Structure 1
Amino acid sequence: MRQSTSHDVRPRPDADGPLDAGVRDLGRLDDAQRAARAAATGGCPVLTFDGARTPYIDYQSVDVLHSLQQPRSGAPAELTFYVLGQVKELLFKLMYEDLRRVRDDLDADAVGAAVWSLRRLRKVADLLVNTWDVLGTLSPSEFNSFRDHLGDASGLQSYMYRMLEFVLGNKRPSLTTPHTGVPHVSEQVRRALEERSVYDAAVALLARRGAAIDPATLRHDPARPRPDCPTVEQAWRDVYRELGPADEVFQLAEALMDVAEAMSRWRALHLLVVERTIGNKPGTGGSSGAAWLRRVNEHRFFGELWAARSVL
């Protein structure tokens, strides 16, 4: 990753006006320096900068970002599909990194911090779900005008989405296969598969708080799918029956459900948009398309949390 250049923000002794180079340089600034700059400009934004870049371009790599859209057809609608695909990838990354932090917080018994992060994650997941509202506006003829240019490309091959599913606990080792020929990607995917999920951390927390969790569940290989466990379901039942909304573990249960529900909504809307756009045609990546997505929709993240609701 390219690093931003640090600038000296101290005013130069040879400055000939209020907008000297020291004020114009927007490197690292503290509150006092920002206040001095605002006073020097009369409260107006700085509009001139030294060099060939602006500080915002430098910080956000905006020029690089805008160079990454490379549609392959001349169809006007392809840019919508292309940009929304990249937006989704960025949101996958944000969710993945935040969920890893939630997992670490749970391991450290910092339940309040984990719940706080999960509240924000739900909002990020909602934004992810809303991308389908835009993609759903593509008519069949608009999508077909560039669909052939996708070749074998499919969202199934998104390694960041696969890592997101892994950190949520949906471990399907076979789905690492598409990435084996891309070394720097395959290593990330393999690591995500082998690391414990955020749900593993939540179940371990329940055990530390006194829940009688089956030891085999606590020892399971994190790289393999874990069947739903009756003792975990019972532990969540007890959380809802014995604790109240003010309790942090109760809040954790609901925050996890918020994320699980949002991910199920993501899948459901994906299916609907596919059915609306291409009907029952096969997918570009070799799947049966809507029929395959319909089977995927049956899965629920954090299965015991869902099951516990049936007996409360």
Structure 2
Amino acid sequence: MNSSTSAGQAEGGALPEQIVHEEKAQLDFSQSMSYGDYLHLDEILGAQHPLSPAHDEMLFIVQHQTSELWMKLMLHELTAATAAIANPSENTKPEAFKMLARVTRIMEQLVGAWTVLSTMTPPEYTAMRPYLANSSGFQSAQYRCIEFALGNKNAAMLKPHAHRPHLLSMVDAAWRRPSLYDETLRLMAREGIAIPADKLERDWTQPYAASEGVKQAWLTVYRDPKAHWDLYQLGEKLTDIEDAFRLWRFRHVTTVERVIGFKRGTGGTGGVSYLRKMLDVVLFPELWALRTEL
């Protein structure tokens, strides 16, 4: 074979001009869906509309928009995992564990996002703050649904959404549903672990209150993990979620204090003072309390 011919041939015997023709065909997306079409990037990347002349407002907008996207995925996973736990089969429990692990990883992304926002200094935030009016992350309907899904129920938190009927409907439905932890306790009861009756049927709109009986139920699981392996794994998945959620809340507090100090929040809350109170909320109290007794 002629050496120049073999050198000019590509894998499979294709000549360079054939490769160029094929690449041009592959790069022509005029007749098919492209990456940008699939992800609706025109809409997403066109959704940033700063109101102030401040350079740093773009950071503020992108930070909160991306956080809302991550929260959308978190709710998608939490909703499906809770449904799988409420109606378990041999296959759905492992699926639920995977979804809950993903929730923890999403929270880690949200924790990291505060690190980016913390590069905004007080003068930079002050330059754009008047343009925010009363808008605040406190009004995030998705965040409220996450809190409700994890059991931190509070009827007062429906009020910020009263002016948006479709958002109010979404948040109200999350408020009325059993939380992830509620469904976990019901699963434990179905699997033969003694759970107090008042934890199996109650007013789901009320915040969960710690129970000695539930702690004893979890101790039964944790003292013999091999006999209750699925419930043991589930307990640890829930602990992972709360661990990550605490970090998320803590980074929120420290970032807000770093940027605005102790000024009141734009949404009318006490700002840092309000956020610090949220650090004391425990979502799955018995899973933390049992560790002292093991």
User: CA 1:271/1:204 → structure 2, altered by over 3 Å: closer, same or farther?
Assistant: same
Give the corresponding residue for 2:134: 152
One-letter amino acid matched to 2:65: Q
Give a deviation string over 1:147-201, Cα, whole Å, max 9, x none.
1111111111000100111111111111011111211111111111111111111
Which stretches of structure 1, 4 residues or longer, exceed 6 Å deviation after superposition? none
Given that residues 168 and 199 in structure 1 are in contact (C-alpha distance below 8 angstroms), is that contact kept between their aligned partners in structure 2? yes
Given that residues 111 and 249 in structure 1 are in contact (C-alpha distance below 8 angstroms), is that contact kept between their aligned partners in structure 2? no
User: CA 1:213/1:280 → structure 2, altered by over 3 Å: closer, same or farther?
Assistant: same
Structure 2 gaps of 5+ residues are 1-18
Give the corresponding residue for 2:172: 190
| In structure 2, distance between residues paired with 1:41 and 1:253 | 57
Give a deviation string over 1:6-58, Cα, whole Å, max 9, x none.
xxxxxxxxxxxxxxxxxxxxxxxxxxxxxxxxx9975788222226x852222
Give a deviation string over 1:244-292, Cα, whole Å, max 9, x none.
4992221111111111111111001100011111111111111111111
Among 76, 80, 87, the alignment partner of 2:55 is 76
| In structure 2, distance between residues paired with 1:178 and 1:255 | 31
Alignment of 1:250-289 (within 5 A): 250-289=232-271
| In structure 1, distance between residues paired with 2:228 and 2:218 | 16
The total of aligned residue pairs comes to: 273
User: Cα RMSD between the aligned structures?
Assistant: 2.0
**How high is the sequence identity, in percent, across the aligned residues?**
36
Given that residues 220 and 226 in structure 1 are in contact (C-alpha distance below 8 angstroms), is that contact kept between their aligned partners in structure 2? no
TM-score by length of 1: 0.83
Give a deviation string over 1:65-105, Cα, whole Å, max 9, x none.
11211111111111011101001111111111111111111
Among 10, 14, 29, the alignment partner of 1:49 is 29
Give the corresponding residue for 2:119: 137
User: CA 1:209/1:291 → structure 2, altered by over 3 Å: closer, same or farther?
Assistant: same
Given that residues 221 and 228 in structure 2 are in contact (C-alpha distance below 8 angstroms), is that contact kept between their aligned partners in structure 1? no
Higher helix share: 2
1:290 matched to 2:277? The reply is no
- Give the C-alpha shift of residue 142 in structure 1: 1.2
| In structure 2, distance between residues paired with 1:253 and 1:44 | 54
| In structure 2, distance between residues paired with 1:246 and 1:211 | 9
User: CA 1:50/1:199 → structure 2, altered by over 3 Å: closer, same or farther?
Assistant: same
Give the corresponding residue for 1:166: 148
| In structure 2, distance between residues paired with 1:82 and 1:159 | 17
Given that residues 118 and 256 in structure 1 are in contact (C-alpha distance below 8 angstroms), is that contact kept between their aligned partners in structure 2? yes
- Give the C-alpha shift of residue 208 in structure 1: 1.1
1:204 matched to 2:183? The reply is no
Q: Any idea what SS the aligned residue of 1:69 has?
A: coil
User: CA 1:111/1:54 → structure 2, altered by over 3 Å: closer, same or farther?
Assistant: closer
Given that residues 211 and 235 in structure 1 are in contact (C-alpha distance below 8 angstroms), is that contact kept between their aligned partners in structure 2? yes
Task: Tell me: higher relative CO, structure 1 or 2? Use CA pairs within 8 A at least 6 residues apart.
Answer: 2
Structure 1 gaps of 5+ residues are 1-38
- Give the C-alpha shift of residue 210 in structure 1: 1.4
Q: Any idea what SS the aligned residue of 1:247 has?
A: helix
TM-score by length of 2: 0.88
